[in-house]
Amino acid sequence: MIRCVFHIDLDAFFVSVEQLLAPELCGKPVVVGGRPDRRGVVASASYEARAFGIRAGMPLAQAYRLCPQAVFIEGSFPRYRDASDKFMTILADFSPYLEPVGLDEAYLDVTGCGFYGLPRQLAVKIKERVRKELGLVASVGIASCKVVAKIASDLGKPDGLVEVALGEEKDFLAPLPIARLPGVGKKTEVVLKAMGITTIGQLAALSPELVRSHFGAAGLAMHRYANAIDERKVEPPGEAKSISRETTLSQDTLDRGFLQAVVRYFCERIGAELRSQGRQARCVGLKLRYADFETVTRRLSLKEATDTDEIIFNAAFKLLERALAGNRKPVRLIGVGVSNLVCFGKQLHLLDLMPQRLEYLNKAVDRIRKKYGFTSIQTGRTLCLGEIFASRDGDCILEIPSLSR
């Protein structure tokens, strides 16, 4: 059977969610990422803001220079996650072969879903439901493989619906600039341009040996994509292999108390997530990025798998102390993660009552947080984050896992 793959991506996702809450922002240049006098980058820009040259990943100050009249919004991750969940639920109604990629984008394999009509009609239905039920606009690309579907959905934005007929994939890709091809980053683009290659068609025409000699094995995949050869399946996600939280701080800091508080906060978030999934972790990791962008990661294996905040924190605390020992460089980004996850296996603490007590404590705190919100109860060590807690509508900016992808 001929494969039919959809790539579906919401237009200006974060901005569009904000516009639902404040319709007066529709049709205006809007930037989500933060206030322009704060550091940070543009996460999402409305198409009106893009007309001024503003792009995702650009420093906010630069975006402000390009368009001072734009509305700058900090944004709220929980709102985006909520919209994303609803978006994926709609898509799952159309095929079980759904592969979410980030919050606002997914592949859907609709091979054999002929009862909905032609693929184009199916795509129209998806777009209609997303618009009617969520108030958001989705762009869809339809093709016989993932890479072509992805490029097609991108090309039609905003409010796109681009279908690439079977057998026309190579002709469709050929005139497009190489930067459109997934896997062609800035560095690869520079090298290809130096070789005189500016379009996907020119890249496709190179011999695989030549591409390999310049770009190694990764280059061969890129070359196959350029030739519209992509056998990757649409794969529904398995269980996550790790859980992590990280944030770029609003200011570089050497304040140990503050860093410990952030680590503690992340450990509580991670512990709660583990418990809600009925899983435990055997390994705790810490990530620090210093002001000069040097990044260090450290890991510690635990004697026993755990889902207890205190045990996760003790390990992360040790890693933090080791990383900061003798360090003079301020910290820019901090993150905690757990890995080597196992399904919950009950431990009998016959001789040692402490872990059992902590378990009860965690469960009691979980219940309170479930009822009144995560920030309704704070442990002593995170008290200095109070202002950050209070400045959010019930949630905390630190919860944003990462705005860079």
Q: Could you give the residue numbers annotated as active site?
A: 105
Cβ closest to ligand TTP, residue 96 vs residue 135:
135
- CA–CA distance, 91 with 244 (Å, rounded to integer): 26
Cβ closest to Mg ion, residue 9 vs residue 399:
9
By CB under 5 A, the count of residues binding Mg ion is 4
Alpha-carbon distance values, 276 to 16, 17, 89, 370 (Å): 30, 27, 20, 11
The binder of 157, among Mg ion, ligand TTP, none, by C-beta within 5 to 8 A per type, is ligand TTP
- CA–CA distance, 34 with 15 (Å, rounded to integer): 12
**Which one of 31, 49, 56, 365 is in contact with ligand TTP (CB under 6 A)?**
56
CB of 46 to ligand TTP, least distance (A): 9
Whether a cis peptide bond, with omega within 30° of 0, leads into 158 is yes
- CA–CA distance, 171 with 228 (Å, rounded to integer): 9
What mask of x and - would describe binding to Mg ion in positions 96 to 135, judged by CB under 5 A?
--------x-------------------------------
Q: Which amino acid is at 45?
A: A
- Specify burial of residue 267 (Cβ count, 10 A radius: 0-12, 13-18, 19+): buried
**Which one of 4, 5, 9, 366 is in contact with Mg ion (CB under 5 A)?**
9
Nearest to residue 34, comparing CAs of 4, 3, 62? 62
The binder of 216, among ligand TTP, Mg ion, none, by C-beta within 5 to 8 A per type, is none
Under the criterion CB under 6 A, does residue 14 sit at the interface with ligand TTP?
A: yes
CB of 295 to ligand TTP, least distance (A): 18
Backbone angles phi, psi at 104, to 5 degrees: -120, 20
Say if residues 204 and 210 touch (Cβ distance below 8 Å): no
By CB under 6 A, the count of residues binding ligand TTP is 18
Residues 6+ apart with CB under 8 A from 118: none
What mask of x and - would describe binding to ligand TTP in positions 99 to 118, judged by CB under 6 A?
----xxx-------------
Under the criterion CB under 5 A, does residue 307 sit at the interface with Mg ion?
A: no
- CA–CA distance, 380 with 257 (Å, rounded to integer): 11
- CA–CA distance, 259 with 324 (Å, rounded to integer): 10
**Which one of 79, 81, 157, 392 is in contact with ligand TTP (CB under 6 A)?**
157
CB of 337 to Mg ion, least distance (A): 26
**Which one of 21, 26, 51, 57 is in contact with ligand TTP (CB under 6 A)?**
57
**Which one of 13, 14, 94, 374 is in contact with Mg ion (CB under 5 A)?**
13
- CA–CA distance, 249 with 231 (Å, rounded to integer): 41
Under the criterion CB under 6 A, does residue 10 sit at the interface with ligand TTP?
A: yes
CB of 218 to Mg ion, least distance (A): 25
Cβ closest to Mg ion, residue 160 vs residue 337:
160
Under the criterion CB under 6 A, does residue 9 sit at the interface with ligand TTP?
A: yes
Q: Look up residue 273 and give its two tokens.
A: 């997530």
Under the criterion CB under 6 A, does residue 13 sit at the interface with ligand TTP?
A: yes
Under the criterion CB under 6 A, does residue 18 sit at the interface with ligand TTP?
A: no
CA dihedral 150, 152, 153, 154 (to 10 degrees): 90
Q: Would you tell me which residues interact with ligand TTP (CB under 6 A)?
A: 9-14, 43-44, 56-57, 103-105, 157-158, 403-405
Q: Would you tell me which residues interact with Mg ion (CB under 5 A)?
A: 9-10, 13, 104
